[in-house]
A and B are shown apart, each in its own frame.
Chain A
C-alpha cells in the first residue's frame, strides 16, 4: 500500500531528498492553474479534514470570499492535544516539506499571503525541526518573496510558526485564532465563521496539519487517484495512532475504511497476553467509546464509525483490555475536560467539574446507582448548550461509556447507599469525597 503522508523514504524530511522525489512540483503545477481550479480539484478528491470533524476541505476553502479588501489568512492546526493523538508530530519530523508545499498551494487557492502553523508549546523539539525545514525552504526560494522568481509567478506567501503554551482548547479553531492574536484562548461564538471573520477580523481558513499534507499529492496525481483510495465518502489514507493495550503501539498510515480489528490485531500486534478487549475509543478521548464486542466489522472512516455509534475524530485509537478499570479511565477523562474547560460557558465549566466529582465518588466506592443517571443527566445538560465543541467532547465519553457499560458501572457502585441519602448527595452541594483521598 502506497503511503501518501508518511512515505517510507529515508531522509525525506531533508529538502534535497524531498526535491529528488518530485518535491515542490505540485506547487509549480498548481501555480499554472487558476485558484478556482485548485479548489475544484480538492473538492472532487473528496479530501476531508483530519483534525476531528472530517469536514470537506475543498468546500471549506470555497467559503473564502473572492472579493475582499482585507488580507486573508491560513491557520494550520498543529495543536495536537487530543488525548490519544500523536500523528501530526510525525509529519513535523518526517515530512515537513510536504506540509510546507501543501501550505503554499492552499494559500494560493484561498488567496492568503500569510499562513501560521500553530504548534503546541510542549512540542519544542518538533517546532525546531519544523523551523529548520521552513528556513531551508525560505533559503531555497520555495517560501516567501523569492517564490516569484522560483516559480515564475506573481504569487508568494509567508509562513510563520506560532508556539502554543499548554492549553488543549487552543486546538479549537476560534480559540486558536485568539491565541495567535495574543489573547486568552477563548473560543468565539459562531457565526460569524472564520471564512468571514477570522484572524484580526479577516477571512481565515483553518486546517489540520495532516489535511494540508495531503494536498500536494492530490494536485500531482489528480483528484481521481485520491478519490479511489479507501472509502469513497472519506477517501485517502488516514494516520491511525494506536495506543494503550497493544503490542505494537504507533502511527499506521492506512487507507480509510480499514477494519478497526485489522488495525488492532494485525498492524498493532494485538493485545498483550492475548487478553480480551473491554473497550476501544476509536478517535481520541472525545469520541464515544465502543464496547469490545462492538468493534467487529467496524471500518475506520467517518461514515462507518458514525453508523457504529462513534466518530473518526483524530484517528487516535485507544485500546483497553479486560483488566482495565473503566471507572478510573472515565474519571481521568473527565478530569482532563474539567481541567481544559476555558470557563466561558456555565454548563461546561461547572458540568465538567461535576462529572469529575461524581466519578471520583464512584472510585472511592461511595457512588450510588442513581449517580449513573446523574452522570448522564449532567452530560446531557452540557451537550448542545455551549459555545464550542469541548462541551460535547466532555459529555460524549461519559454519556456513552455509562450507557454502554451500564452493568459494569452498576457493579462498581455501592449497594449500601440508600436512595434517599443518594438523592441528598445529588443536591450537588455535597461532593462527598475530598479528592486527596483517592489514590491511583
Chain B
C-alpha cells in the first residue's frame, strides 16, 4: 500500500526542513507527522520519508527503531503510558499499572480487541513531583488514585 503525505502535511514537513542546514534533521518531525496521518509507521511511510529527505530508507528505519515514541504497529485510539519509574513506584505506580492491566485485560504494548486502548509501561515522564501518573496520547494525568483511574478509563470507554 502506497503512502503519500497530504498536501498540508507536506507543507509542515517543508517548514521543518527549513529549520536545519540539512534535510535529514527533519526526519523525526516527518515521522511524527506520518504517525499522526497513518496511525503508525510502515515500510511505505519510511520509503516516502526517505525520498523526501534524500535519505536511505534503512537510515529512516534506524531512527524509527531507536526512539520509543514511533510505533510500527497500530496502537489503540487511547494509548495509555504508565510511568513505573522510581518516584512513581514509591507512590503506587505499580498499583496503577496492575489496575489498568486488569481492567483492560491487556499487557505491555498490547491493544484491546475493539482497538480502543493500548498500554505501555514507560520510563520517567518528568512528573515525579505529581506521581503517580500516566499519559493518554499527548495528555498527562497526574496525582492519580485508584478512583481517578477508574473514572478516566470509564469516561473514555463511553466515547466513540
Contact = CB atoms under 8 A, between A and B. Distances in A.
Contacts of A249: 87, 128-131
A181 interface: yes
A253 to B, nearest CB: 13
A182 B128 contact: no
Contact of A83 (B27, B86, B94): B86
Interface string B30-65: 011000000000000000000001010001001100
A132 interface: no
Interface stretch (A9-17, A293-301, A331-339): A331-339
A122 B125 contact: yes
Interface string B95-130: 001100000000000000000000000111111111
A318 B87 CA distance: 7
A180 interface: yes
A89 B90 contact: no
B19 A160 contact: yes
Contacts of A320: 90
A249 B139 CA distance: 21
Contacts of B84: 332, 440
B135 interface: yes
Nearest to A328: B89
Interface in A304-351: 316, 318, 320, 324, 328-329, 332-333, 336, 339-340, 342
B150 interface: no
Contacts of B130: 86, 249
B129 A339 contact: no
Interface string B119-157: 000111111111100010011100000000000000000
A329 B24 contact: no
Interface string A69-111: 0010000000011111110110000000000000000000000
Given A83-B86, A83-B87, A86-B129, A122 B135 contact: yes
Contacts of B160: none
Contacts of B135: 122
A329 B59 CA distance: 37
B66 A185 contact: yes
B67 A165 contact: yes
Given A81-B124, A82-B124, A165 B129 contact: no
B129 A250 contact: yes
Given A200-B22, A285-B86, A332-B84, A184 B128 contact: no
Interface residues of A, number: 56
A164 B67 contact: yes
Interface in A44-87: 71, 80-86
A163 B29 contact: yes
Contact of A243 (B27, B70, B128): B128
Instruction: Indicate the member of B86, B98, B124 with the most A CB atoms within 10 Å.
Output: B86
A186 to B, nearest CB: 8
Contact of B94 (A121, A242, A440): A440
B6 interface: no
Contacts of A365: none
A124 interface: yes
B26 interface: yes
A165 B123 contact: no
Given A84-B86, A183-B59, A340 B123 contact: yes
Contacts of B131: 243, 249
B68 A167 contact: yes
Contact of B123 (A164, A168, A242, A251): A168
A3 interface: no
Given A250-B129, A251-B129, A342-B66, 10 more contacts: A83-B124, A86-B128, A122-B126, A181-B24, A182-B20, A182-B26, A182-B53, A185-B67, A332-B89, A339-B123
19 contacts: A116-B19, A122-B122, A124-B138, A125-B140, A162-B25, A162-B28, A165-B31, A165-B68, A179-B28, A181-B22, A182-B22, A182-B28, A182-B53, A183-B59, A200-B22, A318-B87, A329-B86, A440-B84, A440-B94
Interface of B: 19-29, 31-32, 53, 55, 59, 62-63, 66-70, 81, 84-87, 89-91, 94, 97-98, 122-131, 135, 138-140
Interface of A: 71, 80-86, 88-89, 116, 120-125, 160, 162-168, 179-185, 200, 241-245, 249-251, 281, 285, 316, 318, 320, 324, 328-329, 332-333, 336, 339-340, 342, 440
**Closest 9 A/B residue pairs (Cβ):** A166-B68, A165-B67, A182-B24, A243-B128, A243-B87, A83-B124, A166-B69, A124-B138, A182-B27
